[in-house]
Structure 1
Amino acid sequence: MKIPKRIQPLVDDGLVDEVQSQLMSGKEASVYIVRCGETIRCAKVYKEISQRSFKKATAYREGRKVRNSRRARAMEKGSGFGREQQEKVWQSAEVDALYKLAAAGVRVPQPFGCFDGVLLMELVTDDDGYVAPRLNDVVMPAEQAIADHQVMMTYVVKMLCVGLIHGDLSEFNVLVDEYGPVIIDLPQAVDAAANNNAEWMLARDINNIRDYYAQFAPELANTEYAKEIWSIYEKGELKPDTKLTGEFIEQEDLADINAIMEEIDAARIEEKHRRERAKEMKDGIDESKFNWSES
C-alpha cells in the first residue's frame, strides 16, 4: 500500500521496509502493519491534536511532570510551543508505560521506540500467526473467563504497584493471544499518586473488565475488586503478589471518638463558664440589693 506521510521518515531511515496494510483507525491514532527486515511489527501513528477526538484529555494529563521548566510553563500557558510539548508528552507516555509495565510483569506489546509521533511495537498475533483478536470479539467458557479475569486483576495490581492506571481499560483495549490477555492502548495512562481522578478511573477500568467477563461467568458480577484494590493501595499495603478476594465490606463511617470527646469537653467547659458567669451576675445583683438596703 501507499506509505503514509508520517511513516515515510521511518522508511527513509531504514526503520521500516514496507507498509503492508492499515490495521485500524481509532480516536487517537491509526495503526499499520509494517515489515522491519524479516520481522512483522505494527506502527501506531498518533493523530494531530486537531484530528484527535479523545475526550477529557486534561483529566488524564493531570499529574504528568515535565522536568524542563520552560516546557512546563509553556504547557500551562497553552501557547503553540506548549501545545507541541503537550503532544510530545502525550505520545511518549505510552512508550514509557509500555517499558515500565513490561518490566513489572504485565503483558503488553513490546515497544521498539517512538519516532516523531510514530510508535513501533510488537504485533500481537494468535497461534496461527494472524493478528490477535480484541477481547470484545472473543467468546469463552465460564472457567476461562474466571481464569482470564483473575489474570487481568493481577495486571491491574502490578500496574498500580508501579504507579500507573490504564485510564481507558475495557474489552476494546485488550488483545487475546494463545497465552492470554495482552493490554494495549496506553497513551492516557494515569499517574496514580498525582492524579485526582485516579480512584474513579481505576474503578471504571476494573468494572469494565468485570462486566465483560461476567457475560460468561455471571458470578463475577458481584465482585468488588475495584474497592478492594484501592483500599489496600490507600493503606500502602498493595504488592504485586497481594492475594485478592474480590470482596469488600462497606463500613459505615466510624465515629471519631477523640473528636466527640473534645466536643464533650468543650461543652462541659462552656457550661462551667456559663454557670460561673451566672453566679457572678447573681452575686453582683445580691450585693447591689444589700448595698441599697443599707443605704
Structure 2
Amino acid sequence: MREHDTYGPATMRRGRRKFDDDESDFLKRGRLEPALQEDPDRPEVGDNWSSWDGALHGPEPRPDWVRTEHAAVDSELGVLKTGKEADVYLVRRWLPATGQSSMIAAKRYRDGEHRMFHRDAGYLEGRRVRRSREMRAMSNRTSFGKELIAGQWAAAEFDALGRLWQVGQESGLIRVPYPVQLLGTEVMLEFVGDWETGEAAPRLAQVRAEAEQLDDLWAQMADALSVLARAQVAHGDLSPYNTLVHDGRLVLIDLPQIVDVVANPRGAEFIARDVTNVANWFRARGVAVDAEGLIERLLFEAGLR
C-alpha cells in the first residue's frame, strides 16, 4: 500500500484546521457589507425602465404617442383581462422629466405549463418552422414544443396587427390596435379606451345600440372581413367578444390564431365560421344580414373560389 493511501490518525493533521476567519483582524478587514434592499438599476419612479430597447418594434411611421426614449419608465396599473392563453395588463409608459405618456396593453402569453393548447392544432396547420426538431416538438406537444407554440402565437399576433394596422391607415376599412413592440412572449399594443380613467372600450357584445348604429357597425364588420379575405387570412376566432367599439368604430382584437386561408386546408371553414359568429349576433338584433352571400364574396376575394 502506498503511503498516501492510508487512512487513519497517522495521515490526519493534528489540531484544528486554520481558516481565514481565525485571524485576529478578520472582523476589521473582512466585514461584510449589508445586503442591498433595492435593485440599484431600478428607476426612482415607475416599476421598471421601458423595455423598448431590445424589443421588436411596430411598423413605421409610428403614432406620435409611442414612447421610444431610453429614459421612459413603465408603471403597471392593473389587470385588463385574464384568459386561457394570455393575461392582459394596463401599463403606463412615461417620461418622468416631461410627463409625456402613453397607455399600453401588455399581453403576456402563458408559458408551456400553464396555457391551454387543446385548440392549437387547427390554427397551426399551414404554419411551419425551419427545423424539423422544432416541428416534431410542436407536433408532440413537449414542454419545448409548447414554448415554441407560445412564441409563435405572440409573433403571429404581432405580425398580423402590424400588417392590418398599415392597411387600416391606407384604406380606413379596418381598425386594430397599433402593435408597439414584441419581446419574447409579450406583445405590447395600443390601449383602446379612455386614457384618463384607464377604462377599456366595451366589447361589441356589451354595446346597446340603436338600429341605425347597428347597421353601421355591421357595414364596418363586412368591410373588415373583406380586408382580411383580400389579405388571404381569417381572424380565426372572430366574435362579438373580441371586437371592441371605440368612438363609433369597430376594433378587432385577439389575433394570435390568425389563419392563412390558402396554406391551411381548412381556410374556407375558418372564413365561414367567422362570418357566422358575428352575423348571428347582428341578426338577433334586427339587422338584415346576408351571411351566405358575404361568405361567398369573401371566398372569392381570398382566391378560394
Per the TM superposition, whether the score is higher than 0.5 is yes
Percent sequence identity over aligned pairs: 33
1:92 to 132, 155, 165: 155
Going from structure 1 to structure 2, the CA distance change for 1:163 and 1:232 (only over 3 Å counts) comes to closer
Q: What TM-score does the superposition give when structure 1 sets the normalisation length?
A: 0.70
2:175 to 95, 103, 107: 107
Q: What TM-score does the superposition give when structure 2 sets the normalisation length?
A: 0.67
Going from structure 1 to structure 2, the CA distance change for 1:13 and 1:231 (only over 3 Å counts) comes to same
Other-structure match for 2:110? 47
Q: Which amino acid is 1:14 matched to?
A: S
Correspondence 1:182-261 to 2 at 5 A:
182-220=251-289, 224-234=293-303
Q: Which amino acid is 1:47 matched to?
A: R
Q: Could you tell me how far apart the structure 1 residues matched to 2:144 and 2:202 are?
A: 39
Report which stretch shifted further, 52-61 or 96-105.
52-61
**Which structure shows the higher helix fraction?**
1
Q: Is the 8 A contact 1:127 1:178 kept in 2?
A: no
Correspondence 1:1-295 to 2 at 5 A:
12-15=48-51, 17-37=74-94, 38-53=101-116, 55-68=118-131, 70-76=133-139, 78-105=141-168, 106-125=174-193, 130-220=199-289, 224-234=293-303
The alignment partner of 1:224 has SS state of: helix
Q: Could you tell me how far apart the structure 1 residues matched to 2:229 and 2:202 are?
A: 26
Q: Is the 8 A contact 1:104 1:162 kept in 2?
A: no
Q: What stretches of structure 1 of length at least 5 have no aligned partner?
A: 1-7, 237-295
Aligned pair count?
A: 228
The alignment partner of 2:118 has SS state of: coil
Q: CA deviation at 1:83?
A: 3.2
The alignment partner of 1:65 has SS state of: coil
Q: What stretches of structure 2 of length at least 5 have no aligned partner?
A: 1-41, 52-72, 95-100, 169-173
Q: Which amino acid is 1:203 matched to?
A: A
Report which stretch shifted further, 115-124 or 51-60.
51-60
Q: Could you tell me how far apart the structure 2 residues matched to 1:52 and 1:74 are?
A: 16
Q: CA deviation at 1:133?
A: 0.4
Q: Could you tell me how far apart the structure 1 residues matched to 2:152 and 2:267 are?
A: 19
Q: CA deviation at 1:54?
A: 5.4
Deviations 1:126-147 (A, max 9, x none): 5986321000100112222122
Instruction: Give the root-mean-square deviation of aligned CA atoms.
Output: 2.6
Q: Is the 8 A contact 1:143 1:217 kept in 2?
A: no
Q: Which amino acid is 1:109 matched to?
A: P
Q: Is the 8 A contact 1:127 1:177 kept in 2?
A: no
Q: Which amino acid is 2:50 matched to?
A: G
The alignment partner of 1:21 has SS state of: strand
Report which stretch shifted further, 227-236 or 158-167.
227-236
Q: Could you tell me how far apart the structure 2 residues matched to 1:17 and 1:33 are?
A: 10
The alignment partner of 1:158 has SS state of: helix
Report which stretch shifted further, 67-76 or 187-196.
67-76
The alignment partner of 1:82 has SS state of: helix
Q: Is the 8 A contact 1:171 1:212 kept in 2?
A: yes
Deviations 1:44-81 (A, max 9, x none): 11112332235321100110122455534543455443
Q: CA deviation at 1:235?
A: 5.6
Going from structure 1 to structure 2, the CA distance change for 1:211 and 1:127 (only over 3 Å counts) comes to farther
Going from structure 1 to structure 2, the CA distance change for 1:201 and 1:223 (only over 3 Å counts) comes to closer
Deviations 1:110-166 (A, max 9, x none): 111121211111000159863210001001122221221111111111112222111
Q: CA deviation at 1:231?
A: 3.9
Deviations 1:197-235 (A, max 9, x none): 211111111111111122333422665312332145346
Q: Is the 8 A contact 2:193 2:200 kept in 1?
A: yes
Q: Could you tell me how far apart the structure 2 residues matched to 1:90 and 1:220 are?
A: 32
Q: Is the 8 A contact 2:214 2:287 kept in 1?
A: no
Going from structure 1 to structure 2, the CA distance change for 1:222 and 1:65 (only over 3 Å counts) comes to closer
Going from structure 1 to structure 2, the CA distance change for 1:201 and 1:145 (only over 3 Å counts) comes to same
Q: Could you tell me how far apart the structure 2 residues matched to 1:222 and 1:14 are?
A: 45
